[in-house]
């Protein structure tokens, strides 16, 4: 297909753009890329203190349970947040140079994936630290990551292009993500939610992705492959729809920005 050839021709730009996204973020800070490690660690410490206090939970190894949800969630919300800014941030180049605009959302998703891979070390450390050990099921980690990546790519294509036309969306997304945080089983388990609200979690694809990571590290079992494949299929559909929307909207980017 045409779009793949275009992206292949511009692969160097994609690469440098990802590099710039990762390196540029921490370029002038003392801890550098370590921040993608320290930041979630501090967040985990805060959550590990607060949530067991306010919630009665009998979840064993609660911290590991929560880390398995929190790190993938951060990955999810950062991508969506950054997607809503990426076109406006890069408005300067968009108005001056031609390049396949798809590179920008792809680069956001991919650079955050690298950050996620770094902070996944935290999941590993907490799993080991709580004496859970690792099982062969860790081999499914790339599959869950792939599902999340595809899903995020689809969302990112839509969010990044639509915000160019509706700037208000940027602010709305921040609030929406906060709401979504509580509609996703991150700090609690699915079964504590009353039956009449369960449907919210059912329609939230992040539920299945987080449960996937949780099965691997915290539950030490095989993740629910058929469900994950369904989420993957939804992600692929979202990518196609997202690309169509993106392609339609990108024709006027330079004029709108």
Partner 1 sequence: MQKDNENRIIVEHVYKTFDVYLDKANSLKEKLLFWKRNRKETREVLKDINLTIKNGEAVALIGVNGSGKSTLLKLMTKIIYPNKGKIITNGKLTSLLELGAGFHPDFSGRENIYFNASIFGLTKKEIDNRLDQIIEFSELGSYIDNPVRTYSSGMYMRLAFSVAINVDADILLVDEILSVGDQHFQEKCLAKMKELKAEGKTMVFVTHSLGSARELCDRAVWLNKGVIQMDGKTDEVIDEYIKETT
Q: Which is nearer to partner 1, 202 or 248 (CB)?
A: 248
Measured from the CB atom, is 114 or 230 closer to partner 1?
A: 114
HSE value, Cβ hemisphere, 13 Å, CA-based, for 61: 18
Min dist. Cβ of residue 253 to partner 1 (A): 9
Q: Which is nearer to partner 1, 17 or 113 (CB)?
A: 17
| Counts of helices then strands in the chain (DSSP H, E) | 12, 0
Angle at 101 between CA 98 and CA 103, to 5 degrees: 115
CB of 43 to partner 1, least distance (A): 26
Backbone dihedral angles phi then psi of residue 250, each to the nearest 5 degrees: -70, -15
CA distance 234 to 55: 33
Query: Got the DSSP string for 51-101?
Result: HHHHS----TTHHHHHHHHHHHHHHHHHHHHHHHHHHHHTHHHHHH----T
| Residues with Cβ within 8 Å of residue 234, at least 6 apart in sequence | 151, 205
Least distance to partner 1, CB of residue 171, Å: 9
Q: Which is nearer to partner 1, 23 or 142 (CB)?
A: 23
- For residue 11, the minimal CB distance to partner 1 (Å) is 7
Cβ of residue 37: shortest distance to partner 1, in angstroms? 21
User: CB-wise, 148 or 160, nearer to partner 1?
Assistant: 160
Give the interface with partner 1 as residue ranges (CB under 8 A): 9-13, 15-17, 20, 23-24, 27-28, 92-99, 167-168, 251-252, 254-255
Residue with tokens 């790190």: 71
């Amino acid at each position: 297909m045409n779009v793949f050839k275009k992206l292949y021709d511009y692969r160097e730009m994609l690469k440098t753009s990802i590099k710039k996204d990762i390196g540029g973020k921490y370029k002038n800070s003392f801890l550098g890329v370590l921040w993608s490690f320290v930041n979630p660690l501090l967040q985990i410490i805060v959550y590990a203190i607060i949530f067991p206090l306010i919630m009665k939970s009998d979840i064993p190894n609660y911290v590991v349970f929560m880390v398995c949800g929190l790190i993938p969630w951060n990955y999810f919300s950062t991508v969506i947040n950054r997607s809503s800014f990426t076109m406006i941030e890069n408005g300067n180049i968009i108005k001056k140079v031609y390049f396949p605009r798809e590179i920008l959302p792809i680069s956001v998703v991919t650079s955050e994936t690298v950050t996620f891979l770094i902070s996944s070390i935290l999941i590993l450390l907490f799993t080991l630290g709580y004496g859970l050990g690792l099982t062969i099921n860790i081999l499914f980690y790339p599959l869950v990551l792939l599902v999340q990546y595809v899903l995020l790519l689809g969302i990112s294509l839509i969010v990044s292009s639509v915000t160019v036309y509706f700037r208000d969306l940027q602010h709305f997304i921040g609030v929406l993500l906060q709401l979504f945080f509580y509609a996703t089983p991150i700090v609690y388990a699915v079964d504590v939610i009353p039956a009449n609200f369960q449907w919210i979690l059912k329609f939230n694809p992040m539920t299945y992705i987080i449960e996937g990571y949780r099965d691997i590290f915290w539950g030490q079992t095989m993740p629910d492959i058929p469900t994950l494949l369904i989420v993957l299929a939804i992600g692929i559909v979202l990518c196609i729809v997202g690309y169509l929307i993106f392609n339609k909207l990108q024709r006027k980017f330079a004029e709108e920005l």
